[in-house]
Amino acid sequence: MGRKEQAEGKVLGLLVEATGSSDEATMPFWKESYYSLVLLEKILCQFPDIILEKDLENIWEATCELLLHPHMWLRNRSNRLIALYITVVTDASREHHEKQLGTFFLMKPSRLFMIAVSLCCQLEAQLSLDDAVSSRITQNLVSSICNMHSLKEQREYIDPHNYWSALGESEQSLFLKAFQLLDSGKEKGIFLSLISGACNQSDQDDSKDLGFLLVSSLLKKMGKIALQKEDIQMGIVFNSFRLISSEISPDYCRRYASQMLPSLYKVSEGFAGKVISDDMKQLAQEVCDSIRNRLGNQEFIEVYNDMRKNLKGKREKRKREEKVMAVVNPERHAKRKLRIAAKHRVHKKRKMMTMKMGRWLH
């Protein structure tokens, strides 16, 4: 057995054993997984021709699981490896045009969806991200979502019920786990109705399109993260929106715009419900302009006005409900106002501390 095979076997044993459980109770043993990933990356950089070999599929599966590990170092190292895999697959698909993208292990829709959902979970959990980590998360998010979109035209992918029936148990469980992590009851309900065959496939509604449902669910989740988290997460999401809109066709960009534009609109127009820095407002406006250039001025105005109309209707409905609550249940209304005020004070204090730290560091 050569040195390459010996090292590969060692990584397999360490990584698979270390990823058997990744909850808080096993946090003291994170080093085994981390140094296994470091060794794996060195081997793959030395022997890049083995990255797409079938024998390494269980290693890539374990690496994807570590995207959700509680330890930040493991998540970041896993991101590096996923980025390496996607780069190699992209180069391979360019050289061998006859080979379909979905034939590669991590390029199957179930795994791409799980990778993208895992990255969204990282954004929710991770408070501090440096530029290199942010760039890698953005790269992997954009690649996984755009590759998932490119697979949606495959014949077996168009009929959700038949597509689901043809999947193995492991791929089915990945979809279900990803939707559970996504924490989106409405989209999960539509997904279950699609794969069960309950939805009428002759209906041309976008929500009945499995590929559209997967991508739009992710974009919607990313928009929520941008509004709920800090500037660094917002920057990752908005830059991802810019890149995704530039890589897909104008027709699909228009269809996905209803998931991307609300968060951009709320930030740029001051409806985010929290203090937004000038840099983020400028970025949101730049991404809006990028989408406008992609769609064309008239198409963009139609989509943008529809989105504003829907959001205005939701705001007015919420205000009416608040007025009713103030009369029917004044105590609950008062507690709600106090919670909102406390939340704003905490966010403003955090923002001031961040600005002070920035001045001290410079």
Angle value at C-alpha 164, between 158 and 167, nearest 5 degrees: 115
Tokens describing residue 315: 């705001």
Residue 322: pLDDT band with limits 50, 70, 90: confident
Average pLDDT, whole number, for the chain?
82
| Predicted structure pTM score | 0.82
Rounded distance between C-alpha atoms, residue 232 and residue 96, angstroms: 38
| 196 pLDDT above the threshold of 70 | yes
Tokens describing residue 66: 């570590």
Is 168 or 207 the better-scoring residue by pLDDT? 168
Tokens describing residue 140: 């992997």
Task: Give tens-digit pLDDT for 326-336.
Answer: 788 888 878 87
Task: Give tens-digit pLDDT for 29-86.
Answer: 788 889 999 999 999 999 988 999 999 999 999 999 999 998 889 999 999 999 999 9
Percentage of the chain surpassing pLDDT 70? 81
Radius of gyration of the chain (CA): 22
Task: Quote the pLDDT of residue 334.
Answer: 81
Q: Would residue 109 be called left, alpha or beta, if left means φ above 0 and alpha means ψ between -120 and 50 degrees?
A: alpha
Task: Quote the pLDDT of residue 1.
Answer: 47
Task: Give tens-digit pLDDT for 224-257.
Answer: 999 988 889 999 999 999 999 999 988 889 999 9
Task: Give tens-digit pLDDT for 144-159.
Answer: 999 988 876 565 556 7
Tokens 């400028």, residue located: 282
CA distances 181 to 177, 188, 233, 325, Å, are 6, 11, 18, 32
Long-range contacts of 340-346 (CB under 8 A, 24+ apart): 344/274, 344/275
Rounded distance between C-alpha atoms, residue 187 and residue 120, angstroms: 16
Task: Quote the pLDDT of residue 103.
Answer: 81
| 3 pLDDT above the threshold of 90 | no
Q: Please state the rounded mean pLDDT for residues 340-348.
A: 74
Task: Give tens-digit pLDDT for 249-284.
Answer: 888 899 999 999 999 999 988 888 788 888 999 999
- Cβ atoms of 7 and 43 closer than 8 Å: yes
Q: Please state the rounded mean pLDDT for residues 279-307.
A: 92
Task: Quote the pLDDT of residue 30.
Answer: 83
Rounded distance between C-alpha atoms, residue 72 and residue 210, angstroms: 32
Nearest partner of 223 among 141, 114, 322, 314, judged by Cα: 141
Task: Give tens-digit pLDDT for 71-102.
Answer: 889 999 999 999 999 999 988 877 766 467 77
Nearest partner of 201 among 188, 192, 210, judged by Cα: 210
Total number of residues shown for the chain: 362
